[in-house]
Chains A and B, each alone.
Chain A
Amino acid sequence: KQEVTQIPAALSVPEGENLVLNCSFTDSAIYNLQWFRQDPGKGLTSLLLIQSSQREQTSGRLNASLDKSSGRSTLYIAASQPGDSATYLCAVIGGVSGGSNYKLTFGKGTLLTVNP
């Protein structure tokens, strides 16, 4: 059974700091991994999608890496801003042996607070 863990559960940083959020998963047989942010009471906003064959993806100040063999992904946020404050979630889509089905598993998220 796939388990996705995000560490830390909460993080508070001053504005301008570079930071790294971590996501680990137990089953390396994945199709892709996607990072989202969620603002309180809202839906999820897609940040980056990394296919299993890729090592990293970049969008603006965000860079996500994927290391399937070690079951880890990191989300790097450069020059953080107060507007980056949100919960960041990673989602792993993994294969189920013997079929075309797959399982989607989310981590519990990291609550990021960027202080002005």
Chain B
Amino acid sequence: KAGVTQTPRYLIKTRGQQVTLSCSPISGHRSVSWYQQTPGQGLQFLFEYFSETQRNKGNFPGRFSGRQFSNSRSEMNVSTLELGDSALYLCASSLDRVAYNEQFFGPGTRLTVL
């Protein structure tokens, strides 16, 4: 069974640009969550999508948004990039809502903002 895949693996952008990251969950998994990992803040929860609807959201500004498609694939968008957005962005999938199910993570997308 294929694991969680994320594309692209690496991205370099400049301040003010926008970026879209993609996540394909494990087949049959309906929940996709996104996380930001930085050396200073550690791992922080961005949002969770389930059945194409955002079900839960962390404390991030509105520049961070996402969506989920009918096949459970998810995209995350960051607009008006700032230097502080440089991070490893991880997506995780679970069979159902995260509260009751094990999460499986992808390898991440390393975003560098110059």
Q: Which residues of A contact B (CB under 8 A)?
A: 31-32, 34, 36, 41-46, 49, 51, 89, 91, 93, 101-109
Decide: B56 and A34 in contact? CB cutoff 8 A: no
Of B64-72, B78-86, B102-110, the segment with at least 4 beta carbons within 8 Å of chain A is: B102-110
Decide: A106 and B43 in contact? CB cutoff 8 A: yes
Q: Which residues of B contact A (CB under 8 A)?
A: 4, 33, 35, 42-45, 55-56, 58, 88, 90, 92, 98-108, 110
**Cα–Cα distance between A106 and B105 once the two chains are bound (Å):** 14
Count, A-B residue pairs, CB within 8 A: 53
User: Which residue of B43, B55, B102 is within 8 Å of A46 (Cβ)?
Assistant: B102
Residue of A nearest to B55 (CB): A101
User: Which residue of B35, B42, B88 is within 8 Å of A109 (Cβ)?
Assistant: B42
**Cα–Cα distance between A41 and B103 once the two chains are bound (Å):** 19
Decide: A102 and B98 in contact? CB cutoff 8 A: yes
**Cα–Cα distance between A30 and B50 once the two chains are bound (Å):** 20
